[in-house]
Structure 1
Amino acid sequence: MSATDSDASPPSAYHLVLQLDQQFDDLLDTIEVAVSLYEQQCPPTWVFHQTAPSRHWLREALFDMWHQQDQDGRETRNYIAIVAADDELLNAIDAVNRSKTRFSELLKHIKQTYPQAFNDAKHRLAQRHPHVDAVLRRSGLARLHLKQSWRQLPIAEAPVSRVRFAWYSSGRSIKRLTVQEAEHKLLQLDTDAAHVRIQLRKLASLPSGEILAQVQTQAPLMRANLFYTEPLADGHTRRALNAAMPIFVPANHQRLPHINLPALHPPTTRTRARRRDEKLEDEVFLASLRIYRYR
């Protein structure tokens, strides 16, 4: 008697990595379909601070999945653009997004289930990339940038009349920590180092019930406000989103929406007023962990 689905053994690490190879190949194939269609159509396109973008700029953007030398793994390169796409191109871009989702979900599953196979899987994927030979010749090392491989391409759900870009350079994430959690994080560092021992002593002087804040300053990013030609079914007339990747909007009589021209670089000083509820001390308390006390 054949085994039921519930009796079947979970896939091994080897089989999951083989599936990942196939998912990555599928992703590359769907990108190739989309960029080839774009290059055939040459639809109306606006690229940030480029008066005449090359015919192949989208190919370069979507196939950019490599770490550059000395690049912070948390950082990704931006490709800020607007493309007025017809239904065929929108469907091709949607297929890319769906393929990216399947790829990222399987990769995360491998990382959670077989963490020892994760690094091997990344190395295998790099060898399957179409530009691997050029990368190896240029840098001697091919390292796939996973965040750049699975990030989605924004698609506007309705025609857009105008797009307003603006730099957002004051972002930060704040995570609340107990004294015990902060101590645990410090103990993961080199406790023989003098600066770590000093911070452990500072932490020991606090009441055990005090709550601390770990602050991560976010890199400047471009935000886009899309204004629809007509209200959506839910009544919304605009949508705000991060603009790290090209935004595809439905072609409106083969024209681009009106687009403002933001500054080439983000502002160097804070442009937003400080939040009234900002209650962190100005001086960092535990510098190694970017931990602050509340006032």
Structure 2
Amino acid sequence: MAPAPSYRLLAELEVAFDRLIECSEALLEAYAASPAEAWAFQAEASTEWLRRALLDFWYTDGQDGRATRSHVGLVAADEALMARVAEVNAAKAEFAAQLAHIRDNHPPLLAEAKAVLPFRHPQLHDHLRGSGLARLHLKQCWRAIPVAEAPVARVRLAWYSSGRSIKRLTVREVEKKLLALDSDAPHVRIQLRKLAALPSSEPLAQVQSQAPLMRANLFYCEPLEDGRSRRAMNVALPLFLPAPRGRLPDHNLPPAAPPPSRTRARRSDEKLEEHPYLPSLRIYRYR
């Protein structure tokens, strides 16, 4: 008798998780044997530091489920080490694909996966005891390790604290979201009346401010084939830089914490009104 689809999916996810751990351990072994330079933000760069960064797969008690922890650093990598990084990122992509398939077809399996997967690797689970760590954080498992695609002359790190996501919604979609709240609450009724005053065809925007994050501006030693000489990327994990001689490029030391207020000038062509039209859902009108 063929196994039930749910058991088969969980078994495939376990294989993908095993592969992710195996590739991560191989990367850590290669890094430990490498004499190349590394730098860690507010930490000492070491094999143990990199292990904590690459195997930080856990929620801490009380952690917001949408939030992930950052481990900012730079690692000079030769071809062998870059190949190991590529293997880890391929394993992460496969693990993410398996999760997406389960989420779309058998959502209840996700909770079981979070409970079962850590016990497949006792060395991972042992450090949970007494350290405030709880369930498996799936996003922290599959987020990719950042890499530079070519040798870099210098890196400039900076906090980016003005980010926000903007989702375009129809009046009808906003109405459904409001009705999902307590429709008897006075503040919700007020907002429903405000929404009813708008034309049904008017587009609206739901805005979500994003947590401060570190960005790396890379300046390549030579222009790439497409002509680019620089690139900006978010770096929540150590950034691996091709470095045949094992030396880090010139880099700055960013501030210990993000600025307390917005540092970028507000765009003159910003398309949203300054204040939310429906505060409970962070809904803005377009200008």
**What TM-score, normalized by structure 2, do the two folds share?**
0.93
2:248 counterpart residue number: 256
Structure 1 residue 210 displacement after superposition: 2.3
CA gap 1:199/1:223 in 2 versus in 1, 3 angstroms: same
Match of 2:23 in 1: 30
SS in 2 for 1:102: helix
1:246 aligns with 2:251: no
2:84 corresponds to which of 76, 86, 92 = 92
Q: Distance in 2 between matches of 1:13 and 1:177?
A: 35
Which residue matches 2:69?
77
Q: How does 1:105-254 map onto structure 2 within 5 Å?
A: 105-129=97-121, 130-139=123-132, 142-254=134-246
Residues 78 and 245 of structure 2 are in contact (CA less than 8 Å); yes or no, is this contact kept in structure 1? no
1:43 Cα offset (Å) = 2.1
Aligned equivalents of 1:42 and 1:60: distance in 2?
A: 19
Match of 1:40 among 25, 33, 37: 33
SS at match of 1:191: coil
Structure 1 stretches of at least 4 aligned residues deviating more than 6 Å after TM superposition: none
Report the Cα offset of residue 151 of structure 1: 0.7
Higher deviation after alignment, 150-159 or 115-124 = 115-124
| 1:16-27 to 2 correspondences below 5 Å | 16-27=9-20
Q: CA deviation at 1:73?
A: 1.4
Unaligned runs of 5+ in 2: none
Superposed CA offset, 1:24-50 (max 9, x none) = 011111101111221222420011134
- The 8 Å contact of residues 172 and 218 in structure 1, kept in 2 or not, is answered as yes
| Secondary structure at the counterpart of residue 109 of structure 2 | helix
Letter in 2 for 1:95: E
Alignment counterpart, residue 276 of structure 1, candidates 268, 274, 279: 268
Percent of matched pairs sharing the same residue: 55
Do 1:126 and 1:142's aligned partners in 2 also have CA atoms closer than 8 Å?
no
Q: Which amino acid aligns with 2:201?
A: G
From 39, 42, 55, give the equivalent of 1:49.
Answer: 42
Equivalent residue letter for 1:101: A
For 2:47 and 2:119, locate their aligned partners in 1 and report how far apart those are by CA, in whole Å. 27
Give the drift of 1:100: 0.4
TM superposition shift of 1:230: 1.4
Root-mean-square deviation (CA, aligned residues, Å) is 1.9
Q: Give distance in 2, aligned partners of 1:155 and 1:135.
A: 29
Shift of 1:218: 1.1
Matches within 5 A, 1:282-293: 282-293=274-285
CA deviations 1:57-105 (Å, max 9, x no partner) are 0001001010112211111111111111111111111100000000110
Which secondary structure does the structure 1 equivalent of 2:65 belong to? coil
For structure 1, the residue ranges without an aligned partner over 5 or more in a row are 1-8
Q: Tell me the distance in 2 between the aligned counterparts of 1:55 and 1:181.
A: 49
What is residue 67 of structure 1 aligned with on the other side?
A: 59
- Distance, in Å, in 1 between the alignment partners of 2:161 and 2:215 is 10
Give 1:136 shift: 4.3
Please tell me the residue identity of whatever aligns with 1:13: S
The CA deviation at 1:11 is 7.1
Say which SS state the counterpart of residue 230 (structure 1) adopts.
coil
Shift of 1:252: 4.0
